[in-house]
């Protein structure tokens, strides 16, 4: 059976395995059941793999497919098995039913990222059963915990089993290769070559506890609220990275409009819903997400805390800290709950050419261009081993689909035909790279 013939059913089955990640290693079902299911599907096709547990139920799976020339450095192809939680009451369908409706496969993980997991699985199975060998070895990994930063997944694997990936020089994974329709006869396929760093932080303000009815000029809640408001309302300065500059220049050529490097935001209106992602890659960002203080209505608490999701561009880690500290002032402390690097790789070379060729073979009216994603992926972990990491999960999308809103969103879904397209592209790519 070809990859495109079974990719939809594989994705549907995988969605039905609840792998919700609540951020607490002791809460949620974990990824063990999904890893065992993947291992069984691989084994059925004659492909060996091994499961590694970083904590009870927190499972990742790794294996290797022999290529025609094993003297070449292998390519790492990786995906994550966990998903963010979903409240069924908010959805039109059961988020863990893997239901097909209106030409779409619905469910938590449909685009983040059990679609790519299914593509990987379908292509590997087809290669093996059809007796085809890729040009070089492929190391594959289905990982735990990406949605909470990878401490129990990719980071743990790199720290404890780096030998499994030691000879890989390049890697592909999620959030790239999807289409952006420019016109009826022109589509751009965005290859992720960069991603922002993560600075999830806790802010803490201290003050003098007291009775809520009395005057208090040393109020921790007030002090924290002022700092949170400064951060939430602050517009960080524009910072043009090589990837974003290249993306906007190529986009302007396709749209036939002038590119003003001093005012890149003028182009965002041409991107539709994708503007939310691209706009966030023009500068560092920090968004307050949680507040906590006090224990009784008439008691002024001694401390107050807040959580902030900070993201910084490649090369901006130290500058971002300086910007934050200036906003916080001297009376609010910060510490990192999770901190991880930004990543950037060049949009050139044989691997990029193979991505473009595979994509365009299935869509001659397309063109591949680089872009930076505002979130983070497991590429952060594997880049520390010296790999050039790219987001390449090919999908052909309907022009009117608000794709970016589906990531972690309600009614997450992927086009059935787009998923089949992706399996064909991924097959071509892996057989040519």
CATH number of 296's domain: 3.30.70.360
Report pLDDT for 271: 76
Residue 270 pLDDT grade (very low, low, confident, very high; cuts 50, 70, 90): confident
Q: Going by DSSP bridges, is the β-strand pair 170-173/75-80 parallel, antiparallel, or unpaired?
A: parallel
Domain of residue 169: give its range.
3-173+373-430
Q: Is the Cβ–Cβ distance between 196 and 245 less than 8 Å?
A: no
Task: Let me know whether 123 and 59 are in one domain.
Answer: yes
The most distant pair of C-alpha atoms in the chain lies apart, rounded to whole Å, by 80
Does some domain include residue 351?
no
Positive or negative, the Cα torsion across 119, 174, 146, 67? Answer: positive
Does some domain include residue 251?
no
Does some domain include residue 252?
no
Residue 264 pLDDT grade (very low, low, confident, very high; cuts 50, 70, 90): confident
Task: Let me know whether 32 and 160 are in one domain.
Answer: yes
Does some domain include residue 345?
no
Task: Let me know whether 222 and 326 are in one domain.
Answer: yes
3-class DSSP state for residue 293?
strand
Q: Is the Cβ–Cβ distance between 31 and 60 less than 8 Å?
A: yes
Average pLDDT on 22-31 reads 89
Does some domain include residue 266?
no
Task: Let me know whether 297 and 405 are in one domain.
Answer: no
Task: Let me know whether 145 and 219 are in one domain.
Answer: no
Task: Let me know whether 100 and 163 are in one domain.
Answer: yes
Does some domain include residue 248?
no
List C-alpha distances in Å: 423 to 3, 35, 125, 407, 428. 6, 20, 12, 20, 9
Last residue of a domain, one of 333, 357, 391: 333
Task: Let me know whether 322 and 398 are in one domain.
Answer: no
Does some domain include residue 192?
no
3-class DSSP state for residue 406?
helix
Q: How many CB atoms lie within 10 A of CB 258?
A: 8
Report pLDDT for 25: 79
Residue 165 has which token pair?
A: 């990936």
pTM for the model stands at: 0.92
Q: Is the Cβ–Cβ distance between 143 and 21 less than 8 Å?
A: no
Task: Let me know whether 23 and 147 are in one domain.
Answer: yes
Task: Let me know whether 47 and 160 are in one domain.
Answer: yes
Task: Let me know whether 79 and 221 are in one domain.
Answer: no
**Count of structural domains, the chain:** 2
pLDDT more than 70, % of the chain:
100
Tell me the C-alpha distance between 324 and 322, whole Å: 5
List C-alpha distances in Å: 308 to 150, 377, 405. 19, 19, 21
Report pLDDT for 190: 95
Tell me the C-alpha distance between 218 and 27, whole Å: 38
């Amino acid at each position: 059976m070809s990859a495109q013939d079974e990719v939809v059913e594989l994705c549907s089955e995988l969605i039905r395995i609840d792998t919700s990640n609540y951020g607490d290693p002791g809460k949620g079902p974990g990824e063990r059941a999904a890893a065992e299911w993947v291992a069984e599907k691989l084994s059925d096709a004659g492909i060996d793999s091994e499961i590694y547990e970083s904590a009870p139920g927190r499972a990742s799976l790794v294996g290797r497919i022999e290529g025609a020339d094993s003297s070449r450095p292998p390519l790492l192809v990786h995906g994550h098995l966990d998903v963010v939680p979903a409240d069924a009451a908010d959805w039109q369908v059961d988020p863990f039913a893997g239901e097909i409706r209106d030409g779409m496969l619905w469910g938590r993980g449909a685009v983040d990222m059990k679609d790519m997991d299914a593509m990987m699985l379908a292509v590997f199975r087809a290669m093996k059963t059809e007796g085809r060998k890729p040009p070089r070895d492929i190391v594959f990994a289905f990982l735990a915990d990406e949605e909470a930063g990878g401490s129990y997944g990719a980071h743990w694997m790199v720290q404890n089993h780096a030998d499994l990936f030691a000879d890989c020089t390049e890697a592909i994974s999620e959030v790239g290769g999807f289409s952006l329709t420019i016109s009826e006869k022109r589509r751009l396929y965005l290859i992720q070559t960069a991603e922002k760093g993560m600075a999830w932080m806790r802010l803490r303000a201290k003050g003098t506890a007291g009775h809520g009815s009395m005057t208090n000029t040393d109020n921790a809640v007030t002090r924290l609220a002022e700092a949170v408001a400064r951060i939430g309302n602050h517009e960080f300065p524009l910072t043009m990275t090589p990837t974003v500059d290249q993306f906007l220049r190529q986009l302007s050529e396709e749209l036939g409009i002038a590119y003003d490097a001093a005012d890149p935001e003028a182009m965002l209106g041409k991107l539709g819903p994708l503007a939310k992602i691209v706009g966030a890659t023009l500068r560092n960002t920090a968004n307050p997400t949680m507040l906590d203080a006090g224990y009784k209505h008439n008691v002024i608490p001694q401390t107050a805390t807040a959580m902030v999701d900070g993201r910084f561009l490649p090369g901006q880690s130290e500058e971002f800290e300086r910007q934050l500290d200036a906003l916080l002032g001297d009376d609010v402390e910060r510490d990192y709950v999770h901190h991880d690097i930004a990543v950037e790789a060049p949009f050139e070379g044989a691997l990029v050419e193979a991505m473009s060729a595979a994509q365009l073979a299935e869509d001659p009216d397309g063109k591949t261009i680089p872009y930076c994603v505002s979130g983070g992926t497991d590429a952060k972990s594997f880049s520390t081993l010296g790999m050039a990491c790219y987001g390449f999960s090919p999908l052909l999308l309907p022009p009117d689909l608000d794709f970016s809103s589906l990531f972690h969103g309600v009614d997450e879904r992927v086009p059935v035909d787009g998923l089949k397209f992706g399996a064909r592209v991924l097959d071509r790519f892996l057989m040519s790279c």
